[in-house]
Chains A and B, each alone.
Chain A
Amino acid sequence: MLSLVCALLAVVTVNGLGVYWPSQVAEVTLADGTKFLGRMIRSEVNPDTDKMSVQFKVGNREQDPQRQDFRWIRYDAILAITYPAEVYVLERVENGDFYGYLKDTAGPDLARLSGIPVAEAFPKALGSVRSKSSEEIAPISKKLLSLGNELQKTQDKILRLTYRRDRLLADSRSGNQSRASDVDRQIAELQASSQKIKEQSDRLVGQQQLRLADLRRDAVVMTNPAGKETSIALVDIVRFHDPNAMGFWAKSRYYLSRIGELLWENPRESNTEGGLFPAIFGTVMLIFLMAIACFPLGVLAGIYLGEYAKEGFLIRLVRIAVNNLAGIPSIVYGIFGLGFFVYGVGGLLDQWFFPERVASGTPTFGTGGILWASLTLGLLTVPVVIVSTEEALQAIPRAAREGSFALGATKFQTLVRVLLPTASPGMMTGFILAMARAAGEVAPLMITGVVKLAPQMPVDGDFPFFHLDRKFMHLGFHIYDVGFQSPNVEASKPMVFVTTLLLLIIVLAMTSVAIYLRNRMRRRYQVRTI
């Protein structure tokens, strides 16, 4: 069993670490004379025919009628495989990688590069287009984003006022009529300003489009082994490399830049490319919120059960419940979370604070969000903390308590000054177990607020900075979504390995920190007699 787990971990680690290493791109010549570029992935022997086939990743997705990334080639159909140093791999914003040879750079802004060899001209052209795009397009995008926020806020206000007006109109007391028309006037004003915002952003979108179209004229011309030319707009290129010519250091640098992207960027192409930052952030924040919710509660409950509760029917019942809560399938917790937190508590909050949003069917708290998901997880893990707190308190020798009482300490003083420090490593163990369990749970999240692509993060620069009602991304759910729900399963396999590895690393890192803390506490608080 253990060896199986180790093997699985090894597979995940090897595959996950290898994903971003730039392997060589082969030029394959087939028996029928056609040639193509691709990365060899693996080979397989067909058990019926005893013939070997080789799988290649071929890129250039848009040129394949079936938009396939992979080709299986019979081994005996291959005439030759070479690794020309001139092969380039272009990572694009859309349609994945492009494999080909550099032919030329062309465009209105690139005339000055015409004399230079294309291998030097291409990076320069890319650089100049990028700086232009960040000068011209990025400010517009930023402006558009803030306009979008403003529009959202205005519309929220309109919604609120509309709700108020309708309430006023429904109530026929005197004075309400005139108040309603007051509100109407305000609504009209807001609508006018929202109209203005819309127009402004439409104008900006037009500008952006124009600029983009302008920039798109700067392109790189690529050829395939057959000599067919393809022109690729430079703005669409995320990164490029020439794997067959790269040395070890160049490859390492490329590798690190890919890791950097993974950790800090947003995902692209329905999550199969780009970074995982929102999912990493969501996972870590979820666990933190869970800890904040479950640790104090669990410790307090453990202290109560262990130190203060008088043994009786009710306490026995509670104890049995706590011990059995750990065995309930996590999806049941999810359903409870949905019913209790989302619909119950969230629904109530909405009714009190955002009644207009309930009426319009866009609830704020009455829908899944990171707060509810973390509380659900907290509920799932709190028994572990309770039980370990209680056990840690019970394990303290009677002499430690009596020593404190004999010096005139009260029960509370004894608890705070002697028992809790002594029990802290044990409590920490429970906490570590809770954290490890919470980090791996996906099922309860799926109905309490996780999404495959969150437009906004739960923490951002917008007041009040923490938006715990927002939906969030999560590495575990990402694995499920990318690996099993995406249309292009084969192409997303590397991402699954990478995400799995990352999740494992995060869980490992968090529990390691906790274990380190616990060992320090142990050293401080545990008796070592010689």
Chain B
Amino acid sequence: MNATLAIPFRTVAASSLPGEARNHSAHDDSIVQTRELCLFYGSKQALFNISMDFPRHQVTALIGPSGCGKSTLLRCLNRMNDLIDDVSITGSILLDGEEVNDPTLDVIELRRQVGMVFQKAVPFPKSIYENVAYGLRIAGIRDRRVLDEAVERSLRRSALWDEVKDRLHDSALGFSGGQHQRLCIARAIAVSPEIILMDEPCSALDPRSTTRIEDLMGELRGEYTIITVTHNMQQAARVSDFTAFLYEGSLVEFGPTKQLFTKPEKKETEDYITGRFG
């Protein structure tokens, strides 16, 4: 099944990247590199020259005051900004060496590689089973065995299996918010992405559900690259390996979480994490 979905991305040796790239790298093995990324909503610039390398199979947290461009940056990575009119992007984003902003790139394949979970978990108006199988079905997979296997695997992976295994064919709509969010994660996992983007996945959840999602992120790292946006500093400190601090559309500081939270290099970062503003 992996074989049907895997995309033959060209792997570019790290040495072929521009030399200055190493400045933005916090890790040796990166999966996504952005270079001089700028984004404009109409004439309003939302991202300024973002250059950073997202490490493979790690959890990276994007923090910063609201409106600083965290979601915008995240949505660049699977080209969700295409859905918004009047957006223009300059600079480059390389996913395993492939240019994401290439207009000839197959966006649908890209989005299968780069899954996304949103702040508001809205399941599809279908059964639990069909929710999880959705990504596979629209990819044209009809083999019942493959689907069954993927649904079970994804639900187990997202720690939902035991709760729902007896009612896979009930509507997914009548659940709690925490279950919805885990279902959305299962839905994203089912297509075997490389990267899972999470845009404030816990901000609408109660503390217990939040803990479950955080645990889940811990379990998924190693297999998937996770990039998450969060408002919650403690959460970033708990779940992430690397943290990037964004401020007014610019990347202020990016480094291992521990380092960024204990010895921030920049004054703004320190102010923000100590709660002096934002």
Decide whether A and B assemble into one complex.
yes
A379-419, CB under 8 A of B: which get 1 and which 0? 00000000000000000010111111111111001000110
B96-112, CB under 8 A of A: which get 1 and which 0? 00000000000011011
B122 at the interface (CB under 8 A from A): yes
Q: How far is the CA of A66 from the CA of B122 in the complex (A)?
A: 76
Q: Are B123 and A527 in contact (CB under 8 A)?
A: yes
Q: Are B80 and A527 in contact (CB under 8 A)?
A: no
Query: Could you list 25 examples of A-B contacts with CB < 8 Å?
Result: A399-B118, A399-B119, A400-B124, A401-B83, A403-B118, A403-B124, A404-B124, A404-B134, A406-B78, A406-B118, A407-B115, A407-B138, A409-B135, A409-B138, A410-B138, A413-B138, A417-B124, A417-B138, A418-B125, A422-B125, A524-B125, A526-B125, A527-B122, A527-B173, A530-B177
Q: Are B184 and A405 in contact (CB under 8 A)?
A: no
B188 at the interface (CB under 8 A from A): yes
B274 at the interface (CB under 8 A from A): no
Q: How far is the CA of A407 from the CA of B184 in the complex (A)?
A: 10
Instruction: Determine how close the nearest CB of chain A comes to the CB of B70; give it in whole angstroms.
Output: 16
Q: How far is the CA of A527 from the CA of B180 in the complex (A)?
A: 10
Instruction: Determine how close the nearest CB of chain A comes to the CB of B71; give it in whole angstroms.
Output: 11
Chain A's interface: helix, strand, loop or mixed, by majority?
Answer: helix
A residues lining the B interface (CB < 8 Å): 397, 399-410, 413, 417-418, 421-422, 524-530
The interface centre, meaning the residue of A401, A402, A529 with most chain B CB atoms within 10 A of its CB, is: A529
Query: Which of A403, A413, A418, A524 has a CB less than 8 Å from the CB of B184?
Result: A403
Instruction: Determine how close the nearest CB of chain A comes to the CB of B198; give it in whole angstroms.
Output: 11
Q: How far is the CA of A291 from the CA of B239 in the complex (A)?
A: 56
Q: Are B112 and A407 in contact (CB under 8 A)?
A: yes
Question: Count the A-B residue pairs with Cβ separation under 8 angstroms: how many?
Answer: 84
Q: Are A408 and B180 in contact (CB under 8 A)?
A: no
B171 at the interface (CB under 8 A from A): yes
Query: Which of B122, B138, B187 has a CB less than 8 Å from the CB of A397?
Result: B122
B68-109, CB under 8 A of A: which get 1 and which 0? 000000000010100100000000000000000000000011
Contacts of B83 in A (CB 8 A): 401-402, 405
Given contacts A404-B134, A407-B134, 4 further A-B contacts (CB under 8 A): A422-B125, A526-B173, A527-B123, A528-B174
Contacts of A399 in B (CB 8 A): 118-122
The interface centre, meaning the residue of A404, A526, A527 with most chain B CB atoms within 10 A of its CB, is: A527
Contacts of A413 in B (CB 8 A): 138
Q: A403-B122, A422-B125, A527-B122 are in contact. Are A408 and B173 (CB under 8 A)?
A: no
How large, as a class, is the contact surface on chain B?
A: 20 to 34
Q: A399-B121, A529-B180 are in contact. Are A406 and B138 (CB under 8 A)?
A: no
Instruction: Determine how close the nearest CB of chain A comes to the CB of B226; give it in whole angstroms.
Output: 15
Contacts of B120 in A (CB 8 A): 397, 399
Task: Give the residue name and chain of the B residue nearest to A396 (CB).
Answer: B122
Q: A405-B80, A408-B191 are in contact. Are A530 and B176 (CB under 8 A)?
A: yes
B175 at the interface (CB under 8 A from A): yes
Contacts of A403 in B (CB 8 A): 118, 122, 124, 184, 187
Task: Give the residue name and chain of the A residue nearest to B118 (CB).
Answer: A399
Query: Which of B116, B139, B180 has a CB less than 8 Å from the CB of A406?
Result: B116
Contacts of A528 in B (CB 8 A): 173-174
Q: A397-B120, A525-B173, A528-B174 are in contact. Are A408 and B112 (CB under 8 A)?
A: yes
Give chain B interface residues in 132-155, CB to chain A under 8 Å.
Answer: 134-135, 138-139
Contacts of B108 in A (CB 8 A): 408-410
Q: How far is the CA of A417 from the CA of B188 in the complex (A)?
A: 17
